[in-house]
Amino acid sequence: MTEQAPVLILLFPFLSAIVVALAGIRMKGLCWPLVLLSLAGSVCASLSTLGRVLDEGTIRYHLGGWAPPIGIEFRIDGLNALVAVTVSLVALITAIYSKISVEAESKDKVSQYYAIFLLLIAGLLGMVITGDAFNLYVLLEVSALTSYALIAMGSKRATLAAFKYLIMGTIGASFYLLGVGYLYIKTGSLNMFDIHEQLVLNNLEQSPTILVAFMLITVAVWIKMAFFPLHAWLPNAYAFAPTTSSSIMGPLVTKVMIYVMIRMVLTVFGPDYAFEVLNWDNIVVWLAVIAILAGSIGALAQKDLRKMLTFLIIAEVGYMVGGVWLADETGMVGSIFHIISDAFMTLCVFLFAGIVFTKTGRRNITAVEGMFKKMPLTMVGFIVGAFSLIGIPPTAGFFSKWYLIQGGINSGNWEYVVALLISSLVNAVLFFRIIEIAYFGAKPADGHDDHHGEDHSKISEAPFTQLVPLLGTAALLVIIGIYNKDIVSIIQDFLLPFNLGAGS
Amino acid sequence: MKILGFIAVIITGILLLQAERDFPDWGDPASPANNYRLSQHYITQTFTETTVPNMVTAVLADYRGYDTMFETVVIFTAGIAIIGILRVFGSSSQLEHKEPTLTAKKPDLIVDTTCRLLIPIIQLFALYVVAHGHHSPGGGFQGGVIFGASFILLALARNLQTAQKWLPESRVLTLAGAGIFIYAGFGVAALVLGGDFLDYGILTKLLPGGVEDARSHSMLGVEIGVAFTVTAIMFSIYSNLASNGKMKEGI
């Protein structure tokens, strides 16, 4: 069975999505257990794949039995396997959380919601494990279409935000498709590894077509991951979506796109082309610095809890894009590690925001007033996530930031290091403000618009199915932090053949 | 904002023109896309490997069948998403919109007779397009769209209720899901028999003929699955959009 594990990672959520769509209409109670079961299967499959990758090295799985480049292949190495485990775990945790909120937020449409939810996971997992550039586009379409739907199933404002996202996302997807088309014109192949071989064999480094293909694909993934000047769709889309939708998309969609960017840079175009022939590193690192600062300042300006978190996502995207374009091995390790730790810490704070919203029905930060007394365990989970976002040891966020800063120092990009530190300070201000409100109560000036102190007294600890995922994520953050050496060694083994120098 | 957009468009245009400088000549037989072993393999080996004369169908449904499965899923997702966003179940608590109805309730003789004549022919032709995908342009997507169009024609000519008598909402979803199950079923069957996912060759244990015939037959099966999904989702999208998600009156 382990032979087939790579395809099972994706088949579990995919097939059960159809079952949920069909059977769920008549038997609503069936949806949630089925979702949990399939995602648990997916987690098992991805863990067993990771185990095999560690034992045997890269796994190649030929779909339809056709050897690449004739057919499509999954090609799973250390990077894919780690990201696949992250994606399936985050999905499972969010699915546990979703029980109450989905039933409350989309009463009549539980089965449709879960079907789309599972298809989104299938699309993201497919993007992560595929080794084919065009196949990635098909799954990009699946995941994009499902994200629009998951957002649009929220309130009225969510529908408008989803429409903006749809326009931006479609532009991004068509840029990607055009880029892949250009690669095909010049190489005649669609397999990522084969494209790279052909690029090197035919000496296409100076070809303007390849340059434009590279630009199109990079801009496409930047749009999809909300890299700063192209981020406008993200805050409203994630802030007004149903809470389960933002808990799944906040951590996953942008991170998977960063994986795609790393895959394109390292595997398809190759670090030599991306960092040495083009030599844009400094420009992109400066863009990342702007993105980090803009995201942090944007977050400071927000009074809406979830909207503040969405601006933090934009800052974090800046971290990872910058880390990749430092063109330094430590920076790359930091970026890849940050994909994993950021997925979990974003999940942690979004779960908290979801709990606060369901408990109080308020979006404002002041909604957390006095929560230390009323729901201490929930606050513990939140504090771990917040500490990780600030970067306090021993949480995962500290270690990934450590590698990013190391990379910045090694390559001499001091502006990046300074931006990272400023953004960490801003995160500290933001989260300690929330903790202060939760502990001491809001200052009158902060929340004069909503003073219903009475209905707060009823609030107690979050229900079991919401508390367990939050605390589980918090525990995972600490575990990832403690075992950071092991994860980093997997990433370093993956990066070894690419020969990234220290600094550009 | 408008000026910014204009500048972006100009820059993109210049970039695309730059890229075009390095393109191979139009129809150049020595261009990488024509010359590389990938397309050479498809052109020379398709018939021997799959006994399907239409290369496009073979690439679509076999060599790159995994892509096509997810293209079908994209269609399915679109259908489910539209139901998820638009459909209003039960008596709507929202603001009562005025239903967009046409005043003429009496069936029109000319329209009615034309539909009676046309719809069977359209549906028969759709089946032909699906089944003949191996030999001529066609296949599941095209056939499914034509089949779905016949129901839309019925709904337009009479009303949504008449069309729903033939294709009620519950049946639509079942059909759409069944289509994907047929497609994925071929893949899972291959998996169970010990091959890789979607490796039709190994289905020779179940299907008559050799490995090549098994591939050819599986492609037909897969196309039928696609046609199911596309037909159902076409009609579902139409009926949801036309009736504001209420599935009652509609246009």
- Segment among A45-54, A277-286, A384-393 with least mean pLDDT: A277-286
- Residue B143 above 70 pLDDT? yes
Chain B residues within an 8 Å CB radius of A14: 73, 184
Share of chain A above pLDDT 70, in %: 95
Total tally of structural domains belonging to chain B: 1
Q: Say what the ipTM of the complex is.
A: 0.89
How does residue A502 score in pLDDT terms, banded at 50, 70 and 90? low
- Residue B185 above 80 pLDDT? yes
Of B38, B67, B76, the CB nearest to A189: B38
- pLDDT for residue B90: 63
Share of chain A above pLDDT 90, in %: 38
Half-sphere exposure in the Cβ direction for A190 (13 Å, CA):
23
- Residue A315 above 50 pLDDT? yes
How does residue B249 score in pLDDT terms, banded at 50, 70 and 90? low
Residues forming a β-bridge with A75: A60
The answer to whether the beta carbons of residues A398 and A388 sit under 8 Å apart is yes
Half-sphere exposure in the Cβ direction for A88 (13 Å, CA):
33
Distance, in Å, from the CA atom of A167 to the CA atom of A150, rounded to the nearest integer, reads: 16
Q: How many CB atoms lie within 10 A of CB B220?
A: 18
The answer to whether the beta carbons of residues A108 and B90 sit under 8 Å apart is yes
- pLDDT for residue B105: 62
Tell me how far the alpha carbon of residue A399 is from its chain's centroid.
Answer: 18
For the stretch A149-198, pLDDT in tens is 999 887 778 888 888 899 999 999 999 999 999 999 888 889 999 899 88
- Show contacts of B16-25: CB within 8 Å, 24+ apart: B16/A212, B18/A208, B18/A211, B18/A212, B19/A182, B19/A208, B19/A209, B19/A211, B19/A212, B19/A213, B20/A209, B21/A208, B21/A209, B22/A186, B22/A207, B22/A208, B22/A209, B22/A210, B23/A185, B23/A209, B24/A185
Domain assignment of residue B204, given as a range: 54-88+102-242
Of A22, A113, A139, the CB nearest to B177: A22
The answer to whether the beta carbons of residues B180 and B72 sit under 8 Å apart is yes
Our separate counts of H helices and E strands in chain A read 20, 2
How does residue A444 score in pLDDT terms, banded at 50, 70 and 90? low
Compute the mean pLDDT over every residue in chain A, rounded to the nearest whole number.
Answer: 87
Mutation target for B interface from A18, A19, A195: give the one with most B CBs within 10 A. Answer: A18
A125 has a chain B CB within 8 A of its CB: no
How does residue A454 score in pLDDT terms, banded at 50, 70 and 90? very low
Assigned domain for B135 exists:
yes
- pLDDT for residue A504: 43
The answer to whether the beta carbons of residues A473 and A381 sit under 8 Å apart is yes
3-state secondary structure of A130: strand
- pLDDT for residue A443: 60
For the stretch A24-65, pLDDT in tens is 777 888 888 889 999 999 999 999 999 989 888 888 888 888
Assigned domain for B144 exists:
yes
How does residue A338 score in pLDDT terms, banded at 50, 70 and 90? very high
The answer to whether the beta carbons of residues A320 and A338 sit under 8 Å apart is yes
- Residue B92 above 70 pLDDT? no
Which residue of chain A comes nearest to B25, CA vs CA? Answer: A185
Most distant pair of Cα atoms in chain A: their distance: 73
Q: What are phi and psi of A74, to 5 degrees?
A: -90, 135
Contact criterion met (CB < 8 Å) for A70 and B39: no
H or E, element range at A60 = strand A59-62
Distance, in Å, from the CA atom of A208 to the CA atom of A227, rounded to the nearest integer, reads: 25
Q: Please state, in angstroms and as integers, the Cα–Cα distance from residue A214 to each residue in A256, A313, A352, following that order.
A: 19, 25, 39
H or E, element range at A179 = helix A156-187
Question: Residues B54-60: what's their mean pLDDT?
Answer: 87
Exposed/middle/buried for residue B116 (C-beta within 10 Å: 0-12, 13-18, 19+):
exposed
H or E, element range at A73 = strand A73-76
A433 has a chain B CB within 8 A of its CB: no
Q: What are phi and psi of A490, to 5 degrees?
A: -60, -45
- pLDDT for residue A178: 93
The answer to whether the beta carbons of residues A338 and A484 sit under 8 Å apart is no
Structure tokens at A474: 């918090």
Q: Please state, in angstroms and as integers, the Cα–Cα distance from residue A412 to each residue in A272, A277, A365, A408, B180, following that order.
A: 19, 20, 38, 6, 53
Of A112, A187, A188, the CB nearest to B80: A112
According to DSSP, residue B99 is labeled P
Mutation target for A interface from B12, B44, B85, B181: give the one with most A CBs within 10 A. Answer: B85
Q: How many CB atoms lie within 10 A of CB A410?
A: 17
Question: Residues A213-235: what's their mean pLDDT?
Answer: 89
Distance, in Å, from the CA atom of B101 to the CA atom of B163, rounded to the nearest integer, reads: 16
Distance, in Å, from the CA atom of A23 to the CA atom of A221, rounded to the nearest integer, reads: 36
- pLDDT for residue A90: 93
Distance, in Å, from the CA atom of A184 to the CA atom of B39, rounded to the nearest integer, reads: 11
H or E, element range at A59 = strand A59-62
Contact criterion met (CB < 8 Å) for B31 and A185: yes
Assigned domain for B226 exists:
yes
Amino acid at A495: L
Question: Residues A452-470: what's their mean pLDDT?
Answer: 70
- pLDDT for residue B101: 55
How does residue B10 score in pLDDT terms, banded at 50, 70 and 90? very high
Question: Residues A19-26: what's their mean pLDDT?
Answer: 83
- Residue A488 above 60 pLDDT? yes
CA distance A327 to chain B (A): 25
B-proximal residues of A, 167-226, CB under 8 Å: 182, 184-190, 198, 202, 207-213, 215-216
The answer to whether the beta carbons of residues B33 and A188 sit under 8 Å apart is yes
- pLDDT for residue B104: 54
Distance, in Å, from the CA atom of A60 to the CA atom of A78, rounded to the nearest integer, reads: 12
- Residue A503 above 50 pLDDT? no
Residue whose entry in the numeric block shows the structure tokens 């994209």: B74
Chain B residues within an 8 Å CB radius of A63: 65-66, 196-199
How does residue B98 score in pLDDT terms, banded at 50, 70 and 90? low
For the stretch B190-230, pLDDT in tens is 888 888 888 888 888 888 888 888 888 888 899 999 999 99
> Which residues, in sequence order, are CB contacts of A271 under 8 Å at separation 6+?
A265, A327, A498, A499, A500
- Segment among A225-229, A360-364, A481-485, B76-80 with least mean pLDDT: A360-364
- pLDDT for residue A21: 87
Give one word for B139, left, alpha or beta, with left for phi > 0 and alpha for psi -120 to 50.
left
- pLDDT for residue A447: 47
Of B20, B63, B81, the CB nearest to A145: B81
Closest of B200, B238, B205 to residue B68, by C-alpha = B200
A135 has a chain B CB within 8 A of its CB: yes
- pLDDT for residue A321: 92
The answer to whether the beta carbons of residues A25 and A34 sit under 8 Å apart is no
Contact criterion met (CB < 8 Å) for B67 and A72: yes
> Which residues, in sequence order, are CB contacts of B184 under 8 Å at separation 6+?
A11, A14, A15, A18, B69
CA distance B103 to chain A (A): 32
> Which residues, in sequence order, are CB contacts of A444 under 8 Å at separation 6+?
none
3-state secondary structure of A61: strand
- pLDDT for residue B99: 53
- pLDDT for residue A85: 93
Q: How many CB atoms lie within 10 A of CB B101?
A: 12
Closest of A294, A427, A454 to residue A370, by C-alpha = A454
Assigned domain for B249 exists:
no
- pLDDT for residue B100: 54
Compute the mean pLDDT over every residue in chain B, rounded to the nearest whole number.
Answer: 85
pTM (predicted TM-score) = 0.92
Instruction: Locate all alpha helices (DSSP H) within B87-209, ordered by sequence.
Output: 109-131, 140-157, 160-166, 169-192
How does residue B87 score in pLDDT terms, banded at 50, 70 and 90? confident
What's the per-residue H, E or C state across A374-441? Answer: HCHHHHHHHHHHHHHHHCCCCCHHHHHHHHHHHHHHHCCCHHHHHHHHHHHHHHHHHHHHHHHHHHHC
Cα Rg of chain A, angstroms? 22
Residues forming a β-bridge with A31: none
